[in-house]
Structure 1
C-alpha cells in the first residue's frame, strides 16, 4: 500500500481555495480522499476541528480517510496507517493538528489524536521549533501536559530553540502546576538542563518573580541556587533585577552564601540591584548578615560608586542614602590603606633592588680580584719553574763536568788516581745522584704542559723536593772532593768546610721543613673552621671562586 498527498488548485471570483487530495493505491485499485483546505496557512479540516476543540468533527475526518482506504480493499492495518498520516499532516506553518489542539488546551482532541499518532508524529515541531508538549507547557495547559506525559513521559526531555526545555518555558510563564507536574516526572535531570546561554529554569523564574516556582525548584534541588550561566550570574543576580523581595528571600534561605557570589565581572547581587535602581531590594540585601557593602567589582567599583554614576532621580538618591546608612564607601576611600601599603611595598622593593645591585657589583669586583690573583699566582709559578729549570741545568752541567775533571787527576790510562779512596767513592756516588736528579727536573719541566694552577703547584712541589736532593748531593760531593784535594796535611781545612756546609744545609733544610709542617697544620685548621661556618649559613664568599689553596702563600714546598 502507498499514500500520496498533493494539492489541487481550484476556485472562482479570485477567491483562494484548494483541496488536499490523498491517493491510496494497493492491490491494483486506487481511491481518492479529497479534503477542503482553508485559512491563511491552508489548514485542513483536522486543523479546524483541533482549533475549535470539536472532537466529533476530528473523528469524522479520520473516518473519511479510513473509508477512502477501505474502498481499495486494503487490510485493517492500512486503515490505521492512513489515519496516522492524516493526523500528523502539518499545514504551511508546520503546525500539526496535535500542536494546534495542545496550544488551546482541547483535551478531548488531544486524546483522540494520541490514539492515532506514532512517536514521530508526537515529536513533530512547528516552524518555531516547538512540539505539542512544549506548546502546552508554555501555555499552561496542565491537563494536556499530564495526558501527554501519561502517554509518553520521555516527551519531557524534548527541547525547543536555544535548547529550551518545557520546564524552562513553564517556569518563565509562571505556570506552577505544570512545573510541579514536570518535576514529579523528573528522574533524568530535567531541573538542571539549561539553555544555550547557561540559564536554567530557576534563572527565568527568579527574573520574572515567580516565588512559588522558585521554591518548588529549590525544594527539588537546593544546589540549583549556585548554578551560574555563561556570564557567571546566579539566580540571585536575576532575581535582584526584578522587584520581588519574596524571591530574593527564598533564594537566600536556600543558600545564604550566594549573596556574595560574583559574576564574571565581579558584580555581586548588591551591585546589580544598585545598577537596576531597586531600592527595596538593596535595603533587603544590606540587612543580610553575609552582605559586604563595600565589595569591589573587577573594575574596582563599590556599590556606592555605581549609585553615584546613576542619573539623578528619586530612586538613585534613595539608594545612596540606604548605602550610606550601612557604611558604604567610595573605592578611593576604601583603598587609602591599600595605597599606603602599596607605597611601602614599592619602597621595600626598591631598597632590595638597590642592595641586590650593590651585591652584584661587589661580586663582580671580587671576581676581578680573584682573576688577578690567579694571574699573579700563575706568573709566580711560571717564574719559579723557569728559575728551577735554570738551576737544574746548572747543577747537571757542574755534575757532568766534575766527572771528567776528577779531583786528584788521572793516570796515563785515564783512571782516577784516588779511585780506591773512600772520599772518591762518596764523591762519585753523590755527584751521579745530583746529575740524574737535576736531569729529571729538566725533563719534567720541558715535558709537562701547564694549564691548571693547582696541578702546576703540585708539580713544583715535587720538583722542589728533587732540587733539595740535588743540592744535598752536590754539597756532599763538594765536601768529599775537598778531602781528596787537600789531603792529609790539610785535613783540618776539609773538616772545617764540612762543618760549614753541613750546618748551613741542615739549618736551611730544617727551617724549611718546619715551616712546611706548620703551614699544612694551619691549613687544616682553617679548612675545618670554614666547613663549620658553611654548615650553619652560606656567605658571599661562596661566589668568589677563591679556593683555600689559592689563598695560601705563593711558594710551593
Structure 2
C-alpha cells in the first residue's frame, strides 16, 4: 500500500505523486475553495485514512488527532474534506468546538477563513448558526474583513424565504430584532460612487457604511417576503410578541419604518393598544426624525393628529403628550436643565402647529389643557432659569471686574421675573449665557496676556526660566477654564440656533 505522505490531494499544496512517481490527474471544482477528491477506487483507503480522522476530530473537538494530521500535511487546513466542500473549520464551527477552532485558526491564513462550501457559506456562517459568539470572534480577530461577508444573511434568506417570518424562542422574528437597532440601518440600499471613493481611504468608515447598507437590503428583503402573507398574518406578525412598529418609533429607527411604510402605506394608520399612532409615539419619546415624516403625508396628518390617547383613560391629545416630560434618555441629549427646557419648548411649539385649533385649549380627563400639563410636568426644569440668569450675571460681573470697569449700579440681568419665563428659554436666556461665558473668557485671556507681557518687561533676564514658568502657569489657567466651559458654550449654541432646524424636513424621504 502506498505511503500516506503520497496521498492525492488536489489544490491543497500537497503531493499528487504516487509511490511509483506517476502523476494522478484530479478534477477540481471551479470554486475558490480547494477540494479533496477521491481520484479513483484504489485511492479510497488513503483518502479515508486522512480525511475521516480529521473530520471525526473536528466533530469531537479532538485537537491531538487533528494536530497529527495537520503536522504532516499543513495545507489540509484549507482543503474541502466533505462532498459539500466543507473544510475542517466549517465542521468544527458547526460542532461548537471552540478550543479546536482556536487552534485551527492559528494555523490558517486570513484568506482561508473566507473559503466557502458548496452552498457559498463560510465557516463564520456556521459559527453564527451555532450561536457561539466566541467562535465567530476568534475568526474575526484573525480576519478583520469577515464581518463584511454580511450578504450571508441575504443568501440564506434567498435559499429559505420562510426565515423572513420564522420566530425564535422568544417569539420574535428577524424584523423584531432589527426594529430595535436604529444605528444599524443605512438610509440607502447601495453605496454611491462618491461615498465608495471617499470611504476607501478610511477602511473602518467604509466597513461601517457597508454593514449599514447590507442591513438596509436585509430589511427590504425580509419585508418583501412578509408581504407575501395574508393581511391577517402580516398584522399578527407586527403585533406579537411586541409591536415592532412602535418599538422602532420609540427608539427612533426611522430608516426601518421608512422601508416598511414605502412598501405598505397602510401602516401609517396603525395604532397601539393606547390608540397612539406612530407620530404620537414619536412625540411621547421625542424622536424628531420620525415626527418629521408627518409633514410628508399631506392632509392625512390632520386625521392622525386628532387621535386621542386612551392610556389610563387620561384622554390626552397629541399636544398633551408633548406637554409630558420627555424620558430621561432623550432629555440628556443636551446638558443642563435650562437647555433641556429649551428643547421641550421647541417640541411643544412644533406639535402645536399641526393640531386642530380646538386641541390647543382642550382639557383631558384631569381637567388640564396641554399648556397647563406642560407647566406642571416641567416645574423642576423651570428652575433652570435661575441658574442660567445667575451664571450669565456672574460671568459678566467677573469679566467687568477683570476689565476694571466700574458700574454705578448693581449689575442685573434685564427682564428678571415676568410672565413670559418659558419663552425666555428659547432665545434670550441662552444668548445672555453665551455672551457672559464669551466675555469672561476674553477678559481672562487678555488679562493673562497683559500680565505675561508685563512680566517679561520688568523681570530680570538673568533667570529666563522664571517668566517662562509664570507664562506657562497662566496659560494653563486659561486653557483649563476654556476646557471646563467649552462644552456648555457649544451645547448652548447648538441647542439655541441649530435646533430651529429640528422640525424642518429638508427632503421627501417617505415617498421619494
Structure 2 length-normalised TM: 0.36
Structure number with greater Rg is 1
Structure with a larger share of its residues in strand: 1
Structure 1 length-normalised TM: 0.33
| Higher relative contact order (CA closer than 8 Å, sequence separation 6+) | 2
